[in-house]
């Protein structure tokens, strides 16, 4: 490790709760601790704000004060490893699962998983959606489709999609059923990232397409499902692409 890298490592290690490293100086040495504390507070405030932006529904559900405490604990345990902050926060849902005060609210981690997945979908690579004409007259026994890189199937142990939905701006409260859900998350043609709870049969068909199975093989995983409406919805969203190769 170069001297510069070593200095950065000591500085980063001291930021959560340590004393200022020896490389930090000031014209008045008595000012070092105070100035380092100001810098630490600014970093903590910025990271808390970034986490709140990435997980707005969690912040709404737990309240500002409790979220700030959650964020401080998370920052100390999982500091960013990259200056690209949208890559930071993957461990936050698991940290909510392990948070004792939230034990009675087991859906919190799943709601956070939805919010994290939406960020992944928004920043996913681009891919050209398949042209509808390519499907005209196609043999379902030979047709293989690819899913857009933004498509995420997210199995959840709780009704987190419903909870997430009623906590969106302007949404009206409604009944929330009990039981698990599977979320379909993708980035559509308008660069919106909708979240939809889908039936097990729909999830099975989409997963099979993602594995490269033909349309006929994928449909066999959900014999009770007419796949037409689902395929049309995916195509309209730009979520189906042409698969390269055989």
Our count of domains for the chain comes to 2
pLDDT tens profile 124-147: 999 999 998 888 888 999 999 999
The continuous run of DSSP H or E covering 182 comes out as: strand 181-185
d(CA 84, CA 90): 13
Task: State whether 4 and 94 are in the same domain.
Answer: yes
pLDDT tens profile 97-119: 999 999 999 999 999 999 999 99
* 110: in domain: no
Task: State whether 189 and 79 are in the same domain.
Answer: no
d(CA 29, CA 147): 59
Specify the CATH number for the domain of residue 188: 3.90.930
- Distances in Å between the alpha carbon of 164 and those of 36, 184, 188, 202? 39, 13, 19, 20
234 contact partners, CB below 8 Å, separation of at least 6: 206, 240
Task: State whether 136 and 42 are in the same domain.
Answer: no
Task: State whether 202 and 151 are in the same domain.
Answer: yes
For 43, the domain range is 1-105
The domain boundary residue, chosen from 74, 105, 136 = 105
The domain boundary residue, chosen from 42, 70, 105 = 105
Task: State whether 53 and 152 are in the same domain.
Answer: no
Task: State whether 225 and 146 are in the same domain.
Answer: yes
pTM of the model: 0.89
| Per-residue pLDDT tens listing for the chain (246 residues) | 777 677 667 766 767 666 777 777 777 777 767 777 777 778 888 999 999 999 999 999 999 999 999 999 999 899 888 888 889 999 999 999 999 999 999 999 999 999 999 999 999 999 999 998 888 888 999 999 999 999 999 999 999 999 999 999 988 877 788 899 999 999 999 999 999 999 999 999 999 999 999 999 999 999 999 999 999 999 999 999 988 765
Angle between helices 64-77 and 32-54 (to 10 degrees): 110
Residue 188 CB coordination number (10 Å): 16
* 133: in domain: yes
């Amino acid at each position: 490790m170069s001297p510069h890298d070593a200095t950065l490592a000591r500085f980063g290690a001291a930021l959560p709760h340590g004393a200022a490293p020896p490389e930090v100086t000031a014209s008045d040495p008595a000012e070092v601790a105070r100035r380092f504390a100001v810098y630490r507070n600014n970093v903590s405030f910025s990271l808390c704000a970034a986490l709140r932006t990435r997980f707005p529904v969690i912040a709404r559900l737990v309240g500002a004060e409790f979220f700030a405490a959650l964020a401080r604990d998370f920052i100390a345990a999982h500091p960013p490893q990259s200056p690209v902050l949208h890559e930071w926060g993957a461990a936050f849902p698991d940290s909510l699962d392990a948070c004792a005060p939230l034990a009675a609210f087991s859906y919190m981690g799943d709601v956070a998983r939805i919010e994290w997945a939406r960020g992944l979908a928004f920043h996913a690579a681009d891919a050209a959606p398949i042209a509808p004409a390519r499907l005209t007259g196609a043999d379902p026994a030979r047709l293989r489709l690819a899913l857009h890189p933004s498509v995420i199937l997210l199995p959840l142990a709780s009704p987190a999609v419903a909870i997430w939905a009623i906590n969106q701006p302007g949404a009206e409260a409604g009944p929330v059923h009990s039981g698990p859900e599977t979320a379909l998350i993708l980035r559509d043609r308008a660069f919106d990232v909708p979240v939809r709870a889908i039936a097990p049969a729909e999830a099975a068909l989409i997963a099979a397409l993602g594995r490269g199975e033909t349309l006929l093989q994928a449909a066999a995983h959900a014999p009770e499902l007419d796949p037409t409406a689902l395929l049309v919805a995916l195509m309209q969203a730009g979520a189906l692409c042409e698969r390269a190769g055989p």
